[in-house]
Amino acid sequence: MPIDDAGELRIDAYEALFGERTRIVALGHVSNALGSVNPVRRMIEFAHARGVPVLLDGAQAVPHLAVDVQALDCDFYAFSGHKMCGPTGIGVLYGRASLLEAMQPFKGGGDMIHTVTFEKTTYNSIPHKFEAGTPPIAAAIGLGAAADYLSSIGMAAIGAHEHALLQYATEQLDALPGVRIVGTAPQKAAVLSFVLEGIHAHDVGTLLNEEGVAVRTGHHCAQPLMKRLGVSATSRASFAFYNTLAEVDALVAGIRSAQKVFA
């Protein structure tokens, strides 16, 4: 799907991509590289009107937004645990029951079988049909604790705090000479990507690290996106509910220090 210069999906182009051979729509709920919140509800409605199911990657959305898969009416929704303060190596795949019932299991093992004879095999009911063998029990308990923790704070409160951080950081970086914010969609989650004129993102990350400021640098597993926006890499500051305005000030001070090094 093409995007515009602000990092928003072009809905007109999205709709034009549909044809007789379209079988599924797969897209991110929130961009990991830019923070853009995609208009997924509208896109799902368009796809469903043409009988096409939709899979959403919600790894970047679940830690920042209140997500209701039934309200979205998506067919599949996936997210990872470590993005939401949980353990690594575990996540969630939600699927519409009717679709899961019609699908064949992709893995064999304990607990996914109902009956076995030499003549035939009957699979267990969902979700057990897709949970072969011993699951990552400890990680699942940790993931549940992480979900409870975020819920206890409240996703609305988390979203409001992160929006304030993003707005403040955007204003501060906009005021710095030689800084370009990459991704300026009106609807964004708590991600701020930027480039410094004449300084490679990896050098920016190294210098900020020396100032005690952690950012992610590189193409963020989105090389086609970087090419579209005319950059080789960006530095990405990601905010969460535990960050503060003082830490945004530390980011700004670190950027100024990096610019002095390369002046």
* Residues 156 and 67 sit within 8 Å (Cβ to Cβ): no
74 is catalytic: no
Residue 52, SS3? Answer: coil
Considering the candidates 221, 224, 246, 260, report the single residue annotated as catalytic.
Answer: 221
Q: Which amino acid is at 236?
A: R
Is residue 147 a contact partner of residue 86, using CB atoms and an 8 Å limit?
yes
CA distances, 242 to each of 46, 56, 121, 161, 162 (Å): 37, 26, 50, 9, 9
24-48 in b/e form (b: 16+ CB < 10 A) is: ebebbbbbbbbbbbbebeebbebbe
CA–CA distance, 90 with 97 (Å, rounded to integer): 21
DSSP category for residue 221: T
Neighbouring residues of 113: CB distance < 8 A, sequence distance ≥ 6: 121, 122, 123, 124
Question: Which two structure tokens, joined as six digits, stand for 258?
Answer: 């990096």
Structure tokens at 129: 């049909």
Dihedrals phi, psi of 244, to nearest 5 degrees: -130, 165
Residues with catalytic roles: 221
